[in-house]
Amino acid sequence: MSTSSETPAAVRGTRLSLVNASLGRPGAPALDSVDLDVAPGEILTVVGPSGCGKSTLLRTLAGLLPALAGTVAQDGSPLAGPAADRALVFQEDSLLPWRTLRANVELPLAIAGTARSERRRQAESWLARVGLAGRERQLPHRVSGGQRQRVQLARALAGAPRAVLMDEPFGALDAQTRAGMQDLLVEVLHGSGATVVFVTHDVDEALFLGDRVALLGAARPDGPDGAAGSGRLLAVREVPRPRERSASDDPARLALRREVLTSLGS
């Protein structure tokens, strides 16, 4: 991919770090004592069983949920709430139903103060890149679930964020479209040096995209205060030869794949 020459790498990335952080809602902690550091320009994939706190982690990094304890910081300074340079692709449908697809993608640009004609042009080009050219003027409920997910991706990328937090963005896509979106992601985000935290249920996707993969575990059977549902960060592993489709049968990759599957299965 040649786009890296257009945008200087590592300029736009940002460091996200959690130090001994406890995450969740007050009275309902979801993740305990998380220590995690995502380097600028890195792609970190996150896997874990349903309900273990993956979405909670992303919402915290986005600044929507304050940490219950510990610190969550961006480039060393504690988060003070949501900001445009950390985009979140929600697990649920978050498009505004009264706006057309194009108007939805234009929204971050409008908030940033981009001129109308310019943001229209950019929104249309982003929609085209996620395969939705010609659909700009339709309302979200007129397109399929997978198409809505791709609009969410386009909307996140349109704001040119320094970090993109994605919560199972390709869950509703067929294998081929999914691979296309993965390539787009690598080209656009990795190429521009943005930091990515990517939650997925698909182990192969996690091992293809991630520089590292974080394994989250479900509840400890007997929490100290009986806090059922309190998950944990089990491990963070380097992925051998990330983003090489041909590396899927690399022995080191296969070993890691087995480890991830075991941790998910238990």
Partner 1 sequence: MTRHLVRAASLAAALTAWQLLTSLDVDLWLRFSQFPTVADVARAFGDRLGGDDYWTDLTDSLTRILTGFVLAAVLGVATGLTVARSRLAEDLLGPLLEVVRPIPAIALVPVAILLFPSNEQGIVFITCTAAYFPVLVSTRHAVRALTPVWEEAVRTMGGGRWRVLGSVVLPGALPGIFGGLSVGIGVSWICVISAEMISGQYGVGYRTWQDYTVVDYPGVFVGMVTIGVLGWLTSTAVERAGRWLTRWLPRTEYVATAHLRVPGARGRVLGPRARKAAAAAVPAGTTTPAHPEGVRDEHLV
Ligand X SMILES: Nc1ncnc2c1ncn2[C@@H]1O[C@H](COP(=O)(O)OP(=O)(O)OP(=O)(O)O)[C@@H](O)[C@H]1O
- Give contact residues for ligand X (rule: CB under 6 A): 24-25, 28, 30, 48, 50-56, 91, 229
User: Among residues 92, 222, 225, 249, which is the contact residue for partner 1, using CB under 8 A?
Assistant: 92
Q: Which stretch binds Mg ion (CB under 5 A): 86-94, 131-139, 190-198, 220-228?
A: 86-94
The conformational region for residue 205 under phi > 0 = left, psi -120 to 50 = alpha, else beta, is: alpha
Q: Does 24 bind partner 1 (CB under 8 A)?
A: no
Indicate which single residue of 8, 78, 82, 145 sits in contact with partner 1 (rule: CB under 8 A).
82
Nearest Cα neighbor of 23 from 75, 74, 49, 62 is 62
Residue 14 is a binding residue for partner 1 (CB under 8 A) = no
C-alpha–C-alpha distance, residues 48 and 51, integer Å: 8
Residue 8 interface partner, choices ligand X, Mg ion, partner 1, none, CB cut-off 5-8 Å depending on type: none
User: CA 154 to CA 159: how far, in whole Å?
Assistant: 9
55 binds Mg ion (CB under 5 A): yes
CA-based angle 193:199:202, to the nearest 5? 115
Residue found by looking up tokens 């320009």 in the block? 41
Q: Given phi > 0 = left and psi -120 to 50 = alpha, else beta, which region is 186? A: alpha
For ligand X, the nearest residue by Cβ is: 55
Which residues 232-261 are close enough to bind partner 1 by CB under 8 A?
Answer: none
Site for partner 1 in 134-163 (CB under 8 A): 137-139, 141-142, 155, 159
Residue 56 interacting entry, from partner 1, Mg ion, ligand X, none, C-beta within 5 to 8 Å by type = ligand X
77-78, strands of its sheet edge to edge? 77-78, 69-74, 16-25, 28-38, 231-238, 212-217, 43-47, 195-199, 163-167, 86-89
Question: Quick one: 38 or 214, whose CB is closer to ligand X?
Answer: 214
17 binds, among ligand X, partner 1, Mg ion, none (CB under 5 to 8 A by kind): none
With CB under 8 A as the contact rule, the residue among 100, 114, 147, 182 that binds partner 1 is 100
Helix-helix angle 145-158:175-185, to 10 degrees = 0
Stretch that binds partner 1, among 11-19, 33-41, 76-84, 215-223 (CB under 8 A): 76-84
3-state class (DSSP) for residue 109: helix
Residues that bind Mg ion (CB under 5 A): 55, 91
